Amino acid sequence: MERIFIERAGQFIGQEVRLMGWVQRLRALAKTTFIVLRDCSGSVQIVSPPAQVAALGMKLDDVVEIRGRVREESRSKSGFEIDLIEARILNPAAHDLPFNSSSDCSQIGMDVVLDHRPLSVRTEAVNETFHVQAAILNAFRSFLTKNHFTEIVTSKIVAGGTEGGTNLFEMKYFERTAYLSQSPQFFKEHGVAALERVFETGHVYRAEPHATSRHLTEYYSLDLEMGFIDGPEELIALERSLLAEIFELLNQRFGESIKRRSGAILPDMTRTPTWEFAECLARLKTAFGRTDLVDDLDPEGERQLCELAERECGVPAVFVLGFPLAARPFYTHPRGENGAAQSFDLLFRGLEITTGGQRLHARTTLETALRRKGMRPDDFAGHLRMFELGMPPHGGFAIGLERLTAQVLGLANVREATMYPRDRNRVTP
Amino acid sequence: MERIFIERAGQFIGQEVRLMGWVQRLRALAKTTFIVLRDCSGSVQIVSPPAQVAALGMKLDDVVEIRGRVREESRSKSGFEIDLIEARILNPAAHDLPFNSSSDCSQIGMDVVLDHRPLSVRTEAVNETFHVQAAILNAFRSFLTKNHFTEIVTSKIVAGGTEGGTNLFEMKYFERTAYLSQSPQFFKEHGVAALERVFETGHVYRAEPHATSRHLTEYYSLDLEMGFIDGPEELIALERSLLAEIFELLNQRFGESIKRRSGAILPDMTRTPTWEFAECLARLKTAFGRTDLVDDLDPEGERQLCELAERECGVPAVFVLGFPLAARPFYTHPRGENGAAQSFDLLFRGLEITTGGQRLHARTTLETALRRKGMRPDDFAGHLRMFELGMPPHGGFAIGLERLTAQVLGLANVREATMYPRDRNRVTP
């Protein structure tokens, strides 16, 4: 008999079915044993006389095969239950697990959760976290594909950094030294000269020695870059629409749970305001008396700005545009003559989840910008050459997948949204 | 005036539009200059009196902005042309380009093509190659998502290899040594214990010193793994359906061109036969007199088997099942008692594009298998622990994206299907 997914069992009322999955719950009463069986499609209650399963020594998280007859049962959420005919343990779980798939991982230490990743992903909340993450990935790619963006795959092994060589991981590459890519920045700019609109979803690497709740040495970046823009406002408009679509899909599928976990369903991102950097400093001074910020925001400032945006616009998010040029990478396009940059961050629920902006697109201005930063154009010869092959005015942005997932669900630590987080102290499992 | 995509210009007959793109063709006759302008949505012919553009010094691959009036033109493929009002060069291409976007890259040396990647991607054939690749990625993920697979993102920085440490790239990870992942094999197996059915699309790394037309040090692997299988036949059935769907979509969008470039439209992969390894050797002996193959196939043998499958089944592809166990990794499930493995390759148009199989799922058998290969279970303690958390019987496979793209289009070298190929000699651009 072919195994069927649990979600299909309701189509077999009165008939025998073969199911496989995990023991998610187990309740042995005097006259009846109840087993909740779960597979990737759903879960169902199995009902059995105790004697029929007693000899198996079945326990939580065992991997089992069930033959049983489907019975209509109006008190069950799914509308049916299974009367056991035969159960078989395909692979038992160990007796010494530190928690089980009915546990609440938020009450367990992070290291224990990560060292038992498959088990923690079988718990309800963590399971949902990674389904939300997969849905974000799918919606990101789908929106962009509809809008003339082409997915590209670019190398993560590079001869140098995009910003001059700090925080790079070094690797042995046959007879030479190479580095892990910090960003697909250069490649996606080349991609504009190739395909006009490109996106890439992939890992980036930062040899970031600090272990904070927001930083990883390896994270997954949702990158896009597009040609023929007049300024960063077009990028901001695109990101508003992109996130509005992603959030609408997430609200449809996970809305109730997002509300419970994060405090609110996801907002309509088309209402996100854009505030100039200087304006942000002024607002922080007025509302919170802050006078300490000069050329960048800090985590507290990011939270405060989201609070202000929520109050004024009903959305806990704000695009901060026009950061000081001096603090941005060499390829950043200036915004007017006052030392501001055509670059922006998106703050969402108190955390920066995007950096983006318009880039320089003429070789000569790039050379000048490099020299101004004390770097040598010769060290970027291969990259600069690409600006002579037909390079449109362009810009783009990147969203950190783990951060976005964490903010959507109200998770305190980005590691909770990372299957196998990497930081200074952790390279396993 | 807002810029519109060229594909929309036909909706503005008689009206003025603003377009931006690349000069793809340029023909200056005595009384008229014809410019073919291209953007990411299509191309269109611009018509102008010579005097109006003469001063610009416009040339192929310049990035330009065009204002013009749309005119119906039945002789044009798109049904319309643009009468130029004003042209402006946004960013010129260099005068010394080694080829241009109307060139045929197959006639240009590989190094020149790669050193000018954005320009080569603007040529017709290469452009299509990367659109085909993006379509494969999209179709792969979409098929699996429909079939209860969840996308996962796993780390590429690992403490050791999945097969015992050969061909690993070493990296400096703060105070210790780490490695680039050769395969998400372990992680996707853990993923089965977490989510039952998982897939991942991502880079894998092999410190492969040989430079062949089939090997790269970094390639993009389309990986999947699924639980509750009875044997590799279920994986083969899934891959038949998966590739059938991908190929159907590719034939719809690119069929004519695939036929022209590779010699035939893509076959119906549901007809792909499965031949046992021993049977393959016997067939090669009968049909080609080969007696030199013993425990593996060689490139010539792979081509010959595809030729036989084409003759017998009308599809140039074959699943080879039951390779000798001794030549497969420790986690491979045996196939019966005769030293064969529950693992298979898929050969397509003469090249191996997939390796897959059923894996061992009980900790004790994995420990025995490790010892038999001369490896120490203690070195895999963290991995083995995952098999005690509720691990279903499982298996999976991986498809090399660049190889699949190359075989679909009949490309001789996998580098032609790689945006930025990496091998012993190349880490730039």
Candidates B155, B204, B229, B384, partner chain A, best to mutate (most A CBs within 10 A): B155
* Residue pair B70/B17 in contact by the 8 Å Cβ criterion: yes
CA–CA separation, B17 and B14 (whole Å): 10
- Average of per-residue pLDDT values in chain B: 96
Four-CA torsion A120, B224, A421, B168, nearest 10 degrees: 130
A238, containing H or E segment: helix A232-262
Specify whether the backbone of B42 is left (phi greater than 0), alpha (psi in -120 to 50) or beta: left
A225, containing H or E segment: strand A218-227
Where in the sequence of chain B do the CATH 2.40.50.140 domains occur? 6-91
Cβ neighbour number for residue A272 with a 10 Å cutoff: 22
- pLDDT band, residue B164 (cuts 50/70/90): low
User: Does residue B161 surpass a pLDDT of 80?
Assistant: no
- Whole-number percent of chain A with pLDDT over 90: 97
Per residue in B61-99, pLDDT (tens digit) is: 999 999 999 999 999 988 999 999 999 999 999 999 999
Cβ neighbour number for residue B155 with a 10 Å cutoff: 23
B124 burial level (CB within 10 Å; 0-12, 13-18, 19+): middle
A169: nearest CB among B151, B172, B401: B172
- Non-local (6+) Cβ contacts of A240 within 8 A are A269, A270, A272
* Residue B90: both structure tokens together: 């946004």
- Non-local (6+) Cβ contacts of A258 within 8 A are A132, A250, A251, A264, A265, A266, A408, A409
A428, amino acid identity: T
Closest by CA position to A149, among listed B17, B106, B5: B5
- pLDDT band, residue B334 (cuts 50/70/90): very high
- Non-local (6+) Cβ contacts of B120 within 8 A are B99, B105, B108, B113, B114, B126
Pairs across A and B, CB distance < 8 A: 270
User: Does residue B210 surpass a pLDDT of 90?
Assistant: no
Per-residue pLDDT, B111: 96
Residue entry with tokens 């009002």 = B85
Closest by CA position to A317, among listed A278, A268, A276: A268
Per residue in B351-387, pLDDT (tens digit) is: 999 999 999 999 999 999 999 999 999 999 999 999 9
* Residue A174: both structure tokens together: 């046959």
In sequence order, which ranges of B294-419 are alpha helices (DSSP H)?
299-313, 363-372, 381-385, 401-409
Query: What's the rounded mean pLDDT across residues A276-289?
Result: 97
Parallel/antiparallel/unpaired status of strands B150-151 and B197-205:
parallel
Per-residue pLDDT, B166: 80
- Non-local (6+) Cβ contacts of A74 within 8 A are none
Per residue in B382-422, pLDDT (tens digit) is: 999 999 999 999 999 999 999 999 999 999 999 999 999 99
Query: What's the rounded mean pLDDT across residues A383-409?
Result: 98
- Whole-number percent of chain A with pLDDT over 70: 99
What DSSP designation does B13 have?
B
User: Does residue B300 surpass a pLDDT of 80?
Assistant: yes
CA–CA separation, B309 and B348 (whole Å): 10
CA–CA separation, B330 and B366 (whole Å): 7
CA–CA separation, B135 and B249 (whole Å): 8
User: Does residue A162 surpass a pLDDT of 80?
Assistant: no
- Non-local (6+) Cβ contacts of A336 within 8 A are none
SS3 content of chain B, % helix, strand, coil (to 5): 35, 30, 35
What DSSP designation does B389 have?
S
Cα angle A341, A345, A346 (rounded to 5 degrees) comes to 150
User: Does residue A183 surpass a pLDDT of 80?
Assistant: yes
Residue entry with tokens 């001074």 = A285
Regarding pTM above 0.95, the answer is: yes
B155: nearest CB among A152, A207, A422: A422
* Residue pair B152/A130 in contact by the 8 Å Cβ criterion: yes
B393/A contact by beta carbon, under 8 A: yes
Per residue in B11-26, pLDDT (tens digit) is: 999 999 999 999 999 9
What DSSP designation does B45 have?
E
Per-residue pLDDT, A152: 98
Q: Enumerate the residues of chain A whose CB falls inside 8 A of the CB of residue B37.
A: none
**B136: nearest CA in chain A?**
A151
Q: For the domain covering A124-417, report its CATH number.
A: 3.30.930.10
Residue entry with tokens 């420790």 = B330
What's the residue count for chain A?
A: 429
* Residue A233: both structure tokens together: 């406002």
User: Does residue B310 surpass a pLDDT of 90?
Assistant: yes
Per-residue pLDDT, A161: 73
* Residue A55: both structure tokens together: 């000899």
**Range 179-198 of A in CB contact (< 8 A) with B:** 180, 186-187, 190-197
What DSSP designation does B57 have?
T
CA–CA separation, A303 and B56 (whole Å): 51
Q: State how far residue A263 is from chain B, nearest Cα, in angstroms.
A: 26
Per-residue pLDDT, A280: 98
User: Does residue A163 surpass a pLDDT of 80?
Assistant: no
**B40: nearest CA in chain A?**
A196
Is B390's CB within 8 Å of A138's CB?
no
Per residue in B26-69, pLDDT (tens digit) is: 999 999 999 999 999 999 999 999 999 999 999 999 999 999 99
Phi, psi of A328 (to 5 degrees): -105, 160
Q: State how far residue B304 is from chain A, nearest Cα, in angstroms.
A: 32
Per residue in B247-284, pLDDT (tens digit) is: 999 999 999 999 999 999 999 999 999 999 999 999 99
Q: For the domain covering B6-91, report its CATH number.
A: 2.40.50.140
- Non-local (6+) Cβ contacts of A319 within 8 A are A236, A239, A272, A273, A274, A275, A344, A345, A346
Closest by CA position to A402, among listed A412, A389, A416: A416
What ipTM describes this predicted complex?
0.98
**Range 144-173 of B in CB contact (< 8 A) with A:** 145, 148, 150-159, 169-173
CA–CA separation, A182 and A158 (whole Å): 9
- Average of per-residue pLDDT values in chain A: 96
Longest dimension (CA), chain B: 83
Residue entry with tokens 């408009």 = A237
Per-residue pLDDT, B336: 95
Is B97's CB within 8 Å of A151's CB?
no
In sequence order, which ranges of B75-122 are alpha helices (DSSP H)?
110-115, 117-121
Per-residue pLDDT, A210: 84
- pLDDT band, residue B223 (cuts 50/70/90): very high
Where in the sequence of chain B do the CATH 3.30.930.10 domains occur? 124-417
A173: nearest CB among B190, B361, B427: B427
